Structure 1
């Protein structure tokens, strides 16, 4: 029993040490995955292609150690990079994978971030569906009190309402996000807020407010190397300068924007700059150049119409696939929960069985030891009984011998008693007769004494003779 308990203690101790060691190794690996994912995330605006490479590396590392949160975040960053590379289908597929792994890991914050990203993806194709995803994400963010995500969602809701031309709603959400980002000291997103508010004021034809906000945002974006943001801000600035008839400033800002667009390799921005360049040349009344850019725009529009239609159809199909995958993920989570419960139940039962087996083995060993001791005791009792039997038999023999001896002595004693009474009676009778004769004066006194002495001597001889016969059984009476 003691050996069984010691073995179990040794086994569980060794297992705990091994698990602790593996946990330390895993922590190192997960930290590396987190670091690579963060680097990929930081590059999403300045170099989305590098983001794709970093996120792919992080994904491979996370899969190797089965780190679900790392896998999910890598897919999310891939989706963001694909979005900035104008690859909505790939982006959506990666977002779907990210949601599945975040659900599997039970990470609500990660799940909410992906819904936010999907809302951005739908923003240019389906504003209503975009709002659904944003509000879905916002509900989770409020539930877990994720302040940075709440700020981002307010910013994105403002973007959707801008596209819906609901400018008052847009400004309300932009202002909420700006306040939170200021508290968080998030300079990157503050640039986005300034840019978006500037765009709203531009649409509201409040050009002075718009110009001030956009120039501040442009300068801040340059300080932080936010190439995508610079190119996007320059688009609105170019349109603003054209309205103000500042064509040289518009041309300068367009050239700057094209340069940054080439750095980020964003096809959508390239198209927007072609359209802005066409408007600039048209307003300058350089119709030949305007016609050239119009033809380019027409080619892109034709391709984009087909692409956008295809994208929308694929997004609808992907949405259905996502819903099915989400249901499957929920079923998988339920199965995993059941499997975990089953595993622990089996483990506990196995542990109890081991304990019971240990107790039974110990009990059997104790019984075997007890039986062995009882066998030894039985043997000893048997030997003692045999000794007692031999002693009793010997005693019986001694008693029989003594009884026979006593019987012989009793018989001899009886014989000697009869003999003595017979032998002694004669001299005693003579003595009695002499005494009577002496009383009557019939016998001489001296002669009487002599005869009495002779009788006494005879009695003494008979007594001595009888004593010899009692102490010497070989003698017989005569």
Structure 2
């Protein structure tokens, strides 16, 4: 039994060591997933291709580990990367997969982030739907008191109001966002706030204030290689300079912005710069027919693009909802099967437990019966031992009594022997002497017979006395 316990202990120790090693390896892999996703998210404004690449690598590792939070975050970061690459369909695909994962694992904060991302997809083509998703995200963020999530939502709501030409409301949300980002010391998004506020002041025709804020944002964005931010700022600068007839400054901003847009491969921003170039030529009073044609084509393409994007995204959302309903039905069927298997499993386990309990009860009864039998045997042994003790004691008493009797008899025999030696030997010697005298004729025959008769009578009396002494326990000596 002792050897068995030692073997079990060593097996448990080996299993614990394996589990610990596996846990450490898994922790390292999950850290790699987290690191890749963070790097991808940080690259979204200067290299969205790298964002998608990092998230794809993270996804492969997370799926191998079945690390569901990492899988969901990888899809979300890929959605962000495709958003900055101006690929809304791929973006919504990844956002919806991420949302499904986060809802299953009940990760409310990440769910809010995805709603924020979907709101950005609708920002340019359906303001009301965009605000609806931002409000969903905001409700979650406020419920969690998460300023890191509240700040970007305020910023994005401000962007929607800007597109709705509600510049005062937009500034209000930008200010709220700016306060939170300042408290969080988030440099990248503080730059975004500066840029957005500069754009608002431009639309409010406060060019000096707009230019000051945009110059500060542009300088800090270049230091951090935020190409998409630099491109957006240059686009606003171009508009400001065109409005002020600063054509050379406008040309410089357009060139710089086009370079950044091509680096990040954003076709929409690049098209915006081309259109701004035509606006510049128009402001210079270059009335070539091609400019007007290109301008009309651009507007039509832009509208068609927006409408198509909106329709495609809505169709995708409806498809996902249908898939979600189908998955839910499949899940219910699987759950029913699982419950049935679980029921039979529990029933089997319960049956085995009942058998085990029965065996234990039987074993306990058997042990109780055995213990009772042992107790009875012990009692019988004790009783027999007591009987033996009594018999031994009685035998000792008998032996003592017999010993004493033998001692008495030995004493009597000794006395008898002594008696024979002293009391009977005398008459016998006299008798022998008379016989010798009679042979030699030295004594009268009658006298000899008389004396011999006397001797025989003495011998007879002595024998009778000795017999009485031997058979009479009262007499102890002759």
TM-score (norm 2): 0.71
Question: What is residue 312 of structure 2 aligned with on the other side?
Answer: 311
1:281 has 2:298 as partner: no
Secondary structure at the aligned position of 2:183 is classed as: helix
Question: How far apart are residue 315 of structure 1 and its match?
Answer: 4.3
In 2: Cα distance, 1:334 partner to 1:168 partner:
52
RMSD: 4.7
Question: What is residue 240 of structure 2 aligned with on the other side?
Answer: 240
Question: What is residue 439 of structure 1 aligned with on the other side?
Answer: none
Change (3 A) 1:325 1:244: farther
Q: Which 10-residue stretch deviates more, 187-196 or 136-145?
A: 136-145
Q: Is the 8 A contact 2:231 2:257 kept in 1?
A: yes
Question: What is residue 321 of structure 2 aligned with on the other side?
Answer: 320
Change (3 A) 1:124 1:371: same
Deviation per CA, 1:207-233: give whole Å up to 9, x if none.
221121112111111111111111111
Change (3 A) 1:188 1:350: farther
Change (3 A) 1:282 1:172: same
Q: Which runs of 5+ in 2 are unaligned?
A: 396-448, 471-478
Q: Which runs of 5+ in 1 are unaligned?
A: 396-449, 472-478
Question: What is residue 272 of structure 1 aligned with on the other side?
Answer: 272
Question: How far apart are residue 126 of structure 1 and its match?
Answer: 1.9
Deviation per CA, 1:295-345: give whole Å up to 9, x if none.
65267347526633542442442563486489689979999x999x99x99
1:36 has 2:68 as partner: no
Spell out the pairing of 1:194-209 with structure 2 (5 A cutoff). Answer: 194-209=194-209
Question: What is residue 440 of structure 1 aligned with on the other side?
Answer: none
Q: Which has the higher contact order (CA 8 A, sep 6+)?
A: 1
In 2: Cα distance, 1:147 partner to 1:162 partner:
22
In 2: Cα distance, 1:305 partner to 1:92 partner:
15
Question: What is residue 91 of structure 2 aligned with on the other side?
Answer: 91
Secondary structure at the aligned position of 2:115 is classed as: helix
Deviation per CA, 1:345-401: give whole Å up to 9, x if none.
99x9899899969977985996799699799989x97xx89xx9xx9xxx9xxxxxx
Q: Is the 8 A contact 1:197 1:213 kept in 2?
A: yes
Secondary structure at the aligned position of 1:209 is classed as: helix
Question: How far apart are residue 87 of structure 1 and its match?
Answer: 1.3
1:129 has 2:156 as partner: no
Question: What is residue 300 of structure 1 aligned with on the other side?
Answer: 301
Secondary structure at the aligned position of 1:287 is classed as: coil
Q: Which 10-residue stretch deviates more, 460-469 or 162-171?
A: 460-469
In 2: Cα distance, 1:353 partner to 1:8 partner:
26
Deviation per CA, 1:248-306: give whole Å up to 9, x if none.
22122111111111101111112212221221122222232514633652673475266
In 1: Cα distance, 2:147 partner to 2:283 partner:
45
Change (3 A) 1:122 1:305: closer
Question: What is residue 460 of structure 2 aligned with on the other side?
Answer: 461
Change (3 A) 1:356 1:117: same
Q: Is the 8 A contact 1:84 1:266 kept in 2?
A: yes
In 2: Cα distance, 1:189 partner to 1:155 partner:
9
Question: What is residue 62 of structure 1 aligned with on the other side?
Answer: 62
Q: How many equivalent residue pairs?
A: 406
Spell out the pairing of 1:27-426 with structure 2 (5 A cutoff). Answer: 27-288=27-288, 289-291=290-292, 293-294=294-295, 297=298, 300-301=301-302, 304=305, 307-308=308-309, 310-318=311-319, 320-321=321-322, 324=325
